Structure 1
Amino acid sequence: MTAGASPADTGDGETGGTREARRLRRELARADLAAVPAARRELRALLRHWDRPDRSDIAELLTSELVTNALVHTDDDAVLTAVVSPRGLRVEVRDFMTRGPLMRTPTPDEDTGGRGLVLVRSLADAWGVRAHAVGKSVWFELGSAAA
């Protein structure tokens, strides 16, 4: 399996193996914010294989937030992994810092920063943080079934 992938990312038996999972893996250089729009473009290409075009904008937004967080709030490279399977979409961004993400509650008078994980929590069907021996992955899922 690639970095950040989990057993749930593979195709399920319901399709008899005829629809396999499609994957995106992109290495993200430390502090390279130009990688954010590039990651969105690559995700958009992957999402052409997803049966939920109505949720593609949400997927792109949440991916942008996770990639931006990893590049702004860590001092190392990161890895973006996205998988489209019959079960839905799973996106993970792995960084190599042990410090966990902080969920902030922004106030109305603050600028637009600090809302990334609030958006992920609000819009994803599931999300979380998984610790690794070195670093962590922040992930979200959007299911194939209508939300």
Structure 2
Amino acid sequence: MSASEFRTSDRAALPGLPASGQTRRLSVAGSRGTVGQCRDHTRLALHDWGLLPTEDPERQAVADDILLVVSELVTNACQHTGGPDQLVLRASDRILRIEVFDAADAPPLPRVPHTPGRPGGHGLHTVALLASRWGHLPRVDGPGKAVWAEIALPTG
């Protein structure tokens, strides 16, 4: 591998991201307009970090996946927990971690059996398809949990 090939493949996926990574937080209340608010917050972060706008189809697909995962996790919190209270985006050079915090202790459960033709119940299945990993953790600052998903970022 030549030096120029190494530099190209070793470049950070998000050129606008500080080398140490960055965390963006959005506090939200209730569920009215929350999904759009969280998508807008995420889109702005993706612009600031240099993933958007893009002419590269792979980078666009990753950005679209990130926005869809945010929508699905926030919608799930709105429908099943009374709404999230915080969205956290943690970006590193290769991974974007999305965390949606709510006050409910019950873990998120994908609908089983999953019936693709049936309305509703597809959110967590969609998250599982698009994310590299996903799960939930209890909150350390009080009751509730964080539902999280990680999405691998394109290289170079």
TM-score (norm: length of structure 1): 0.76
Within 5 Å, give how 1:1-147 maps onto structure 2.
19-32=19-32, 34-48=33-47, 49-50=49-50, 52-75=59-82, 77-104=84-111, 105-111=113-119, 113-133=120-140, 134-145=143-154
**Partner SS state of residue 117, structure 1:** helix
**Partner SS state of residue 30, structure 1:** coil
Deviations 1:80-116 (A, max 9, x none): 10122213211000111111111114324421x1111
Whichever residue aligns with residue 138 of structure 1, its letter is: V
Paired with 1:120 and 1:50, the residues of 2 have a C-alpha distance of 23
List structure 1 segments (4+ residues) > 6 angstroms apart after TM superposition.
none
Q: Name the count of aligned residue pairs.
A: 127
Deviation at 1:72, TM superposition (A): 1.5
Q: What is residue 5 of structure 1 aligned with on the other side?
A: none
TM-score (norm: length of structure 2): 0.72
Contact kept? 2:96, 2:150, Cα under 8 Å: yes
Contact kept? 1:106, 1:114, Cα under 8 Å: yes
Change beyond 3 A, Cα 1:77–1:54? closer
Change beyond 3 A, Cα 1:53–1:20? farther
Q: Percent of aligned pairs with the same residue?
A: 35
Paired with 1:128 and 1:73, the residues of 2 have a C-alpha distance of 16
Contact kept? 2:96, 2:153, Cα under 8 Å: yes
Deviation at 1:77, TM superposition (A): 4.5
Larger radius of gyration: 2
Paired with 2:44 and 2:27, the residues of 1 have a C-alpha distance of 17
Paired with 1:107 and 1:54, the residues of 2 have a C-alpha distance of 25
Give the gaps of 5 or more residues in structure 2: 1-17, 52-58
Whichever residue aligns with residue 125 of structure 1, its letter is: S
